[in-house]
Structure 1
Amino acid sequence: MTDFISQLPDTARDWLKGRRLDEVECIVGDLAGVARGKAMPASKFAKQSHFYLPNSIFLQTITGDWASLEDQPFTEPDMVLTPDFSTATAAPWTADVSLQVIHDINDQQGQPVPVAPRNVLKRIVALYAEMGLTPVVAPEMEFYLVAPNVDPGHEIQPPMGRTGRRAAARQAYSMAAIDDFGAVIDDIYDFAEAQGFEIDGILQEGGAGQIEINLRHGDPVLLADEIFYFKRMIREAAFRHESYATFMAKPIQDEPGSAMHIHHSVVDAKTGRNIFSNPDGSENESFAHFIGGLQRHLPAAVALFAPYVNSYRRYVPDYAAPINLSWGRDNRTTGLRVPISGPEARRIENRLPGMDCNPYLGLAASLACGLLGLREKIDPSPEFTAEAYTQEADIPTTLGEALDLFEEDKALHELVTEKFTETYLAVKRLEYKGFMQVISPWEREHLLLNV
């Protein structure tokens, strides 16, 4: 066991000091971003170099059904999973002493499995590296704390705060609102510290019980790993205090949705210089082309940013979510916002992704669109300086429409691979088909006796 302990990050080793490690959770993120894998005694983990999972885990829908592909072997062949020790981190909410370790996923010939979301993101980062570039991202995480909901037939309610009253909406940036859920926030901070994660800030958003956590900028794969871990950790912190944490894009009617805004910049791999800025500090063609790539290819990528039928309930005017691909400086009504910054920190914020997306796929898709802009030298539209909510929507408004657009964008397929595209479309079309067979309360209320 000593050998693998020496390979752990400093934060994991520090957390283990004075503790006896009981269990290791060997995990990967599936297509939805759900943690899959095996838990095993630490003594067994120390003696093995890898383990196996069937490749069919990437064909499972969010409802537990299984999509089928023409070339999918009925034998469900195993993939080879090897630990990426740089990802090892504590699971501080468990009763025993446990570590989590994200694993790399290869086929039996040693090649990366193309449908694994983490591999998709690694591929996009590698394509930047081939051009001598390093992408840098800074994600924002929005989520709701809600009252426990054990009956899907009941509407979701805001949680009870320390005052004994339910959380109120329209309290954006209120410190009192954050304090109302101080016990959950304290656990989030404590868990994050134990896991070695750096939180840039926590604030109250506009919805009732809606919170935003900002992460510092950095490597896309590292930050996607952290969001993957954060989702589980935040849920565990909420469970401790008789509430749920939900990352649904739109959990409560008439409240704002939850986004995963992504800030992007790109630096020269050799010099570390931000390629969006000229030596005199002005914006350059690369900056414009990155925006142009986002504008041209984001409609197809929305299927990855908004992966469920509920995701499209977020894209409504005046609820802090974009409805088009306009870009503007310091304009939060546009889908693409250029925040105030100096030349070295010049960046573009993509406000389309929802918090329900798989973080690996959300980051991969956004970076892929920008990369296509750099490659194809795509010019953006003129800057939009008015209120973008007053414009017509130019993004898909249903999952079915989004999947059709994704299927048509061959340039995007080339970057994320055809195999991933085929698998993703099969899973999401099966989910959509299942949803379309459900009759909602709205239909029974308004159509049963009136049409």
Structure 2
Amino acid sequence: MASPDWLSKSPVHVRTYLEGRRLDEVECVVADLSGIARGKAMPAAKFAQQGSFYLPASIFQQTITGEWADDGDAAFTEPDMILTPDYSTTRASPWTADWTVQVIHDMVDQGGAPIDVAPRNVLKRVVDTYAARGWRPVVAPEMEFFLIARNTDPSVPVEPPMGRSGRRAAARQAYSMSAIDEYGPVIDDIYDFAEAMGLEIDGILQEGGSGQVELNLRHGDPVKLADEIFCFKRMIREAALRHDCYATFMAKPHQDEPGSAMHIHHSVVDMATGRNIFVDETGHETPAFLHFIGGMQAHLPAVMALLAPYVNSYRRFVRDLAAPINLEWGRDNRTTGLRVPVSGPEAKRVENRIAGMDCNPYLGIAASLACGYLGLRDETAPSPQYAGDAYDLEAAIPRDLNTALDLFEEAAEVRELLHPHFSSVYAAVKRMEYGAFLQVISPWEREHLLLNV
């Protein structure tokens, strides 16, 4: 049973938000395979008395279309898992009509073992694998998303939102302050909500697409940062709805514009010394730095199904349109899939530019770290760095979800690192989603095939 004063265990920003007010409701949430918040809401007094509750573990077998995949694990019985609150994740839900907080929960089975298909547990497993070697991975994600006009008919293409000027947001205005000002009220609410939720924003800027925004987070612990992205995505959608528009994290919502990425910056710290293992005492790059890159080059194709989890994800990888098409690496080179940003020695890092913003943040970060770990473990040598325009090279990543799933199902080392059962369930869910997509006849097919073939 939770203590009646459980709020004393929550972060300071929660207590500040509730100062002088009575808490009405607590949202008990977990992230499913798609990164959707699942759980229960209950009166605050009930939450204080309960301490844990149950949800069927089968929520991790639900597809994005609402169907249920069968991984052959007797899922028809839908056994419950036990959820207990991680009080450190308590955050305000400032968009609600009453005083509400949300709490991310830990998930174990009825024997006390972590639920191996839960995305948050998958990421913890990868982080623990690093820790067993005396390493602590550090990540810094970038979030890209589009603000779009309300779109209630899926057959109609999306449009940019109307700005304060009375015109729709324009494309090709990267880094424009005026473009950000066009939808300033949404950005203001994002800032206000983030402050109430204790979410730190490193910066907001206009990206290359019409109504496309990039939000940067400061570096830190992978699980904590994934928790924050999980909360950010829900919060940003709510902020947009307040201003009669949508926020979408779909990888490619507009046909002729760039897609939205979740670039992930990685470094690794030696837990004994606190030193970034990518540089030595003199500030020069170490073999570990190159091995991490080598591991990403070797294994990222096998985890594309996690970094680009939907059929739409692969529409983002277009030559000369901001997203990489191969796994070359280069210094300060945004045409490569793996970029080494300009930095001082202490901040030496590798940026994975492959992941889409539509990926589950827990799984995207876990998959990316898993590739780097395998490179460190196996001392994998990378290809020579690429100094030119990597778009001049042939594409070298899977171009569709079906191919990506084939590679994932063949990647024994990656599947073992993430967890074999998780990998089996994930593949089953994605196969079902892909099958559902193939049943839909598109306008392109009707336009070009109906009377011509």
For 1:301, which of 297, 300, 303 is the aligned residue?
303
The answer to whether the aligner puts 1:52 opposite 2:54 as a matched pair is yes
Look up the match of 2:185. 183
1:358 aligned onto 2:360: yes
1:227 aligned residue: 229
**Residues 275-294 of structure 1 correspond to what in structure 2 (within 5 A)?**
275-294=277-296
1:152 corresponding residue in structure 2: 154
Instruction: Give the partner amino acid of 1:176.
Output: S
Matching residue within 81, 102, 125 for 1:79: 81
Q: Partner of 2:388 in structure 1?
A: 386
TM-score of the two chains, using structure 2 as the length reference: 0.99
The farther-off stretch of 400-409 and 65-74 is: 65-74
SS of the residue 1:47 aligns to:
helix
**1:196 has 2:198 as partner:** yes
CA distance in 2, matches of 1:9, 1:279: 36
| Distance (whole Å) between structure 1 residues aligned to residue 75 and residue 371 of structure 2 | 32
Q: Which residue of 1 aligns with 2:138?
A: 136
- Encode CA deviations 1:287-338: one digit per residue, 9 max, x unaligned: 0000000000000111000000000000111110000000000000000000
**Paired position in structure 2 for 1:432:** 434
Aligned residues: 451
Cα distance in 1 for residues equivalent to 2:292 and 2:224: 22
1:132 and 1:189 map into 2 onto residues whose CA distance is: 37
Distance 1:36 1:335 in 2: 33
Deviation at 1:125, TM superposition (A): 0.5
1:77 maps to a residue whose letter is: P
Structure 2 distance, partners of 1:71, 1:40, is 31
Measured after TM superposition, the shift of residue 38 of structure 1 is 0.1
Q: Helix, strand or coil: the match of 2:115?
A: coil
Deviation for aligned residue 1:72 = 2.4
Distance, in Å, in 2 between the alignment partners of 1:304 and 1:408 is 14
- SS of the residue corresponding to residue 382 of structure 1 reads coil
- Aligned to 1:425, the other structure's residue is in SS state helix
- Compute the displacement of 1:171 (Å): 0.1
Please name the residue that 1:91 is paired with: 93
Look up the SS of the partner of 1:435 in the other structure: helix
**Cα distance in 2 for residues equivalent to 1:381 and 1:436:** 37
Deviation at 1:93, TM superposition (A): 0.4
Whether 1:444 aligns to 2:427 is no
Of residues 172, 180, 204, the one that matches 2:174 is: 172
Q: Aligned pair 1:33/2:35, yes or no?
A: yes
Distance across 2 between alignment mates of 1:146 and 1:354: 18
Bigger Cα displacement from structure 2, 5-14 vs 102-111:
5-14
CA drift of 1:195 comes to: 0.3
Instruction: Provide, for residues 39-71 of structure 1, a one-character-per-residue CA deviation record: whole Å limited to 9, x for no partner.
Output: 000000000120000011000000000101212
1:199 counterpart SS class: coil
SS of equivalent to 1:46 = helix
Specify the SS of the correspondent of 2:299.
helix
Query: What's the Cα RMSD here?
Result: 0.6
1:414, distance to aligned residue in structure 2 (A): 1.2
CA distance in 1, matches of 2:448, 2:113: 54
Residues 336, 390 of structure 2: 8 Å contact kept = yes
User: How far apart, in 2, do the equivalents of 1:31 and 1:183 lie?
Assistant: 32
Q: Structure 1 CA distance, aligned partners of 2:130 and 2:107?
A: 21
Following TM superposition, by how much is the alpha carbon of 1:437 offset from its aligned partner in structure 2, in angstroms?
1.0
Q: Pick from 247, 250, 260: which aligns with 1:248?
A: 250
State the partner residue of 2:418.
416
State the secondary structure of the residue aligned to 1:65. Answer: coil
Question: Secondary structure of 1:109's match?
Answer: coil
Per-residue deviation at 1:94?
Answer: 0.3
**Pick from 273, 276, 282: which aligns with 2:275?**
273
- The one-letter amino acid of 1:144's match is F
**Equivalent-residue separation in structure 2 for 1:255 and 1:168 (angstroms):** 11
Q: Deviations over 1:337-377 (max 9, x none)?
A: 00001111000000000000000000000000000000000
Aligned counterparts of 2:434 and 2:260: Cα–Cα separation in 1: 21
CA deviation string 1:78-109 (max 9, x = no partner)? 00000000000000000000000000000000
Instruction: Please state if 1:348 is matched with 2:350.
Output: yes
How far apart are 1:380 and its partner, in Å? 0.1
Structure 2 unpaired stretches of 5+? none
Equivalent AA in structure 2 for residue 55 of structure 1:
A
- Per the TM alignment, residue 271 of structure 1 is displaced from its structure 2 partner at its CA by 1.5
Once the two structures are superposed, residues 252-310 of structure 1 have per-residue CA deviations (whole angstroms, 9 ceiling, x without a partner) of 01000000000000011121100000111111100000000000000011100000000
Q: Is the 8 A contact 2:4 2:49 kept in 1?
A: no
Which residue in the other structure is 2:112 paired with?
110
| Separation in structure 2 between the aligned mates of residue 437 and residue 300 of structure 1, nearest angstrom | 26
Percent of aligned pairs with the same residue?
70
